[in-house]
Amino acid sequence: DADVTQTPRNRITKTGKRIMLECSQTKGHDRMYWYRQDPGLGLRLIYYSFDVKDINKGEISDGYSVSRQAQAKFSLSLESAIPNQTALYFCATSLGQGPWDGYTFGSGTRLTVV
């Protein structure tokens, strides 16, 4: 099994629908992150969490919410999906002990809002 698992891998949903993207990890990392990737914009941070009680907004959190159900699980919700939320979404984890700690990424969720 992958260290960081994202489900679903692909999803098409309609405008106005609520959708949840799930992320689970076996790395034992405390820090978890949600990013979205758009062409020409790179990856932008939506939310991040240091533990189940510590959740922080990233640079583009409007229209999204998150839940850290356990150390290993971090879910991203779109309460009412809109077409400009069509993107590739990544979950990532990190030890976060220093600037040398990069990320372990999930495989991504490709979301299309029609």
For residue 94, the minimal CB distance to another protein (Å) is 5
Nearest to 84 by CA among 47, 36, 43: 36
Residues of the shown chain interacting with another protein in the complex, contacts defined by CB under 8 A: 31, 33, 35, 40-45, 48, 56, 58, 88, 90, 92, 94-96, 98-103, 105, 107-108, 110
CA distances from 94 to 4, 49, 63, 87, 111 (A): 11, 10, 25, 23, 24
Q: 112: which residues sit within 8 A by CB, 6+ positions away?
A: 11, 12, 13, 86
Eight-class DSSP state of 97? S
Total count of residues recorded for the chain? 114
Eight-class DSSP state of 63? T
